[in-house]
Amino acid sequence: MKKPTLLIIFLFIFANFAPAQEKVFYSSFRPQGWDIYLSKDDGKNFSKFTKHESLDYDAKISPDGKWVVFTSERNGRPQLFRKSTEGDSLPRLLVSSNSMQDQVDFSPDGKWMVFVSTHEGNSDIYKLPFSPSDTLDISEAVNLTNSKGGDFRPRFSHDGKKIAFSSDRAHETKPHPRLVFSLQRTGDIYVMNANGGDTKRLTYSENWEGSPVWSQDDREILYYSADYLFASGNKTFKLYKMSNTGTHAEQISPDGYSCLSPILKPNGDILFTGFLEQPNGFSILGLDPKTQKIDSTWVQPMNMLNVDYHDSGIMLYHGGETPPREPTNINDFRGDLLVKNSPQRINDLPNKALSLYGVRRSFAAPATPDGKIVYGVSEVNNFQEALSPFAYVILLLPFLAIFWFIFGIYKSIKKRKTIPFWKHIVFSVVALALVMFFIKYTDDQLFTYLLPLNKVKPFLFIFGALLLLLGALSYYRFTQKKKHYKPIAPLYRLYAFMFIPYGLLVLYAALMLSSFFNTEKDFYAVDYTTNEIKHLFNFKPDPDFNPQFSNIIDTKVTPDGKYLQFSVGGFRRSPEAKGGVYRYHLENKSLENVTDLESNTGFADYSEDNTVMVFRSGRTGNMDIYFEENGNTTNITDSPDKEAFPAISYDGNKIAYCSDVNGIDKEGIVKTMDIYMVERVNDGWSEPRQLTTFSGQEAHPHFSPDGEWLIYTTEEFGINDEQPLIQPFIFSPQMYGEISAIRLTDGKKFRLSHNKWEDGTPLWIKK
C-alpha cells in the first residue's frame, strides 16, 4: 500500500510544481487530412496504406520495395515514419527530432536516405543511413547543403553519385503581383555530389523550377516549371527536360495541362500531379512523351498528389477527399475548425509548457475563458451576393439607356423629313452618355477612390435633381411647341420621358445607397471540445461605410474574458480609409464603438483590467500607434513610417508593434516589417527597441500573460517546400509562416513551429 500512496503524493507534488499549460491559438492554413494510398498491381487497385486522422504525405518506396517512408504529423511536427509494404504493421518513427523532416529519397542501393529538415533553421538537405529497424536521431544526420536559402526535393541519380534538388538560394524575395505584403520566392534546379560537394546550378529562372528526376541513363533531368506568380497573366505549370549540365531545355508536356511533381517509369512514361477542374482538383496523370497522350486512368473523386512508382508494380500517392463544409467552420476553410491533433503540447520554452491550437481560418479565431472559439462571418461569397434586392432597381438605367439609344436612331430615320436627322442622334447620344457617366462616376467613387457613402450621396442628390429639372423643362418646352404645332414638339417629349425616369432612379440611388450592399456579419461561438456552435450576434457596419471597408479582422477576446473586440475597415488601404474598433460585451450582449470612424483605425489590444488600449490609426495621415488611458490618447510613434499590429502586455506597461522604419525596400512596392517594443518610463514611454532584425516580414506580436515573452510570426526560416506545391492550400506560401517567441529579458528567440503550412497571428492566453 505504501507504493501507491507514495506515487499519489509524488504526482500531487509534481502537478503543483509543474508549469501551467498556457494556450496559444493561431491561424493555420494546412489541409484537413491526408493518407497514403498504395497499389500493388500497377495502379489498378488502390487502398489506404495509412489510416491516421492527421496528415500523412510525401511517401517514397524503398529500392527493394519492402518499405515505404513517409512524412506524418501524427506526433505534431512533421517527422519521417516507415511502414512495411507487407502485412498491416503499424508505422514506426524513423528519425527522432523536434524539427521537420520531409521529402525523402533513397540511394539506388537502399543504404542511404536524404531528406529535407529544419533541424538547423531553414530547410536543408540531410543524409542518414537507411535502417528501418532503428529510430535514428537527427543529430546523427549530415547537412549536405547548409545554404542561406531553402533546399527541397532531393533526388539521387541512378548511379548514386549525384543528387539533384531545387533551391531558392539564388534569389531575393519579391512582392506578389496582387498581394504585395506577401513576399514570393523563385526556385532553380541544382546538382551536387552525393556527399554534398561540388554544387552546380542548372537553371536560371524567374519562375519556379523544381522536383527534378533523372532519366534512366542519368543524362537528362526532368522537372516542372511553374509561372505561379502569374507574371504572364496565365497560370502555367509545365514539364521540361534538359541535359544533366543544364543545357537543351525543352517542354515535354502538352499545353492545357497543369503539371507538377513528375516521376519517370522504366518504360519511359511519365507520371505527374495534374490539376483538373473535376472531379476534385489534383489528380495523378500519365504522359507518353512520344505521343503526348495523357492517361487519366488513375483519376479518382479526391485530391491525389506526389505519386511514386516501383519497378515491381507498387504505386502510391497521398491525398484525400475534399472535406465538406462543416457547420462549425462557416464560410472559410472546408473541414474542421481546429487542425488535427490539437492541442499540440510543446516544451520548447524554458519553464513554459504550451498547448498550441491551430485554427483553420484565415485569421486566428480567439478563445473565450470558458472554452469557446469566436469568429465573424459573412454570407457573401461574390459580388452578386453582395448586392441586395434594392440595388437591382438601378439595373433599369442601362436598359433604359439602350432602349432610348435605339429608339432615338429609329426616330431619326422615321422623322428625318420633318425633323433634322442629327437632332434625334443627339438625343440617342445624350441618353446613353448620361447613364455611362452615372455608372463611371459611382464606380470610381465607390470602388476606385473608395469614398464613404455619405461623400457620394450629395452628388447623386444634385445629379438626380438636375435630371428632374431638365425633365420638367423639356416637358414645358413640349407643351409650348405643341401649342404652336411645331414638328419638333415630340422630341422634347422624348427628352422629358428620358430625363424624368433617369432623375427618379438616381434620386432612388442617393436615398437607398446604404441599402444596396449586404455588409452584415454574424458572430458565432464554437465550443472546441464538443463542437457545439451558437450564434452570438449580428453586426451591421456603419451605413455610410464603403462596402469594401466592411471587412472584419483582428478579432480578440479581452484578457479578462468580458469583451469580444474586433476591427472593421479597409486595413490595407491608405491612412484615410475608414475603419474603427468595436467591443461586444459577452455577458450583457451590448455593442459599442470605441474609436471614431473618420480614419483607418483598427488592430486594438487591451490590458487585463481594460483600462488601457493600444491601436493603430491613420488619423494624422500616417499609420501610427496610439495609446489610450483615462480618456487621454497619445501617439507613441508619430512617424512617416508604417506601423501596424500593436499589442499591449497584460499589465499595460509594454507595447509591441510592427514597423517598416528599418525595413528592406522590395522593388519600391513594399517594405519589410520588424517588431519593436516600448515600455513605460515615468509618465511617458521609452524609445522604441527593435526586437527582430531579419530581412523578411515579421508581424503579429502578442505578449505572454506574465509579460516576459513575446510571440510572433516570421518568415525568418524561409519556406519548407517548393512554393508551387503548397500554393493551392495556403493564402500565400509562408509569407511569414512560422511562429517564434522572444524572451524579453535577453532577446533570445525560440522557434515554436516546424512545418510547411502558413501558421500565423498567434494569441497567447492564460490556462
Q: pLDDT tens for residues 287-323?
A: 999 999 999 999 988 989 999 999 999 999 999 988 8
Q: Are strands 612-617 and 602-606 parallel, antiparallel or unpaired?
A: antiparallel
At 60 the pLDDT is 99
Closest CA to 280 of 31, 28, 47, 29: 31
Q: What are the pLDDT digits (tens) for 679-693?
A: 999 889 999 999 999
Count how many Cα atoms sit within 13 Å of the Cα of residue 318 in the half-sphere of its side chain.
Answer: 25
Q: What is the pLDDT of residue 235?
A: 61
Q: Looking at the chain, how many residues does it have?
A: 767
Query: For residue 609, which of 558, 554, 557, 679 has the smallest C-alpha distance?
Result: 558
pLDDT at 332: 81
Strand segments, DSSP code E, in 596-728 are: 602-606, 612-617, 624-629, 632-635, 643-648, 654-659, 665-666, 670-671, 674-681, 684-685, 689-690, 698-703, 709-714
Cis peptide before 279 (omega within 30 of 0): yes
Phi, psi (rounded to 5 degrees) for 316: -150, 165
Q: How many CB atoms lie within 10 A of CB 233?
A: 8
Q: Kindly calculate the radius of gyration of the chain based on its CA atoms and give it in whole angstroms.
A: 32
Low-confidence ranges of the chain (pLDDT < 70): 1-20, 178, 180, 228-235, 277-280, 727-736
pTM above 0.85, yes or no: yes
Q: How far is CA 313 from CA 81, 218, 266, 298, in A?
A: 22, 22, 11, 14
Q: Which three cell numbers stand for residue 555?
A: 478579432
Asked whether the beta carbons of 676 and 670 are under 8 A apart, the reply is no
Cα-Cα-Cα-Cα dihedral of 270, 271, 275, 276, to 10°? Answer: 90
User: 453, 514 in Cβ contact below 8 A?
Assistant: yes
Cα–Cα distance between 82 and 69 in angstroms, integer? 4
Q: Read off the amino acid at residue 4.
A: P
CB atoms within 10 A of CB 171: 16
pLDDT of amino acid 285? 96
Position 500, amino acid: I
Residues 674 and 660: their CA atoms lie apart, in Å, by 6
- Nine cell digits for residue 756: 510547411
Task: Tabulate helix, strand, coil % of the chain (nearest 5).
Answer: 20, 35, 45
Residue 123's nearest CA partner among 153, 81, 95 is: 153
Strands 670-671, 674-681: pairing kind: unpaired
Q: CA end-to-end span of the chain, whole Å? A: 34
Euclidean distance between CA atoms 643 and 628, whole angstroms:
17
Instruction: For residue 750, list its beta bridge partners.
Output: 741
Cis bond upstream, residue 559 (ω within 30): no
In whole angstroms, what is the distance from residue 566 CA to residue 591 CA? 11
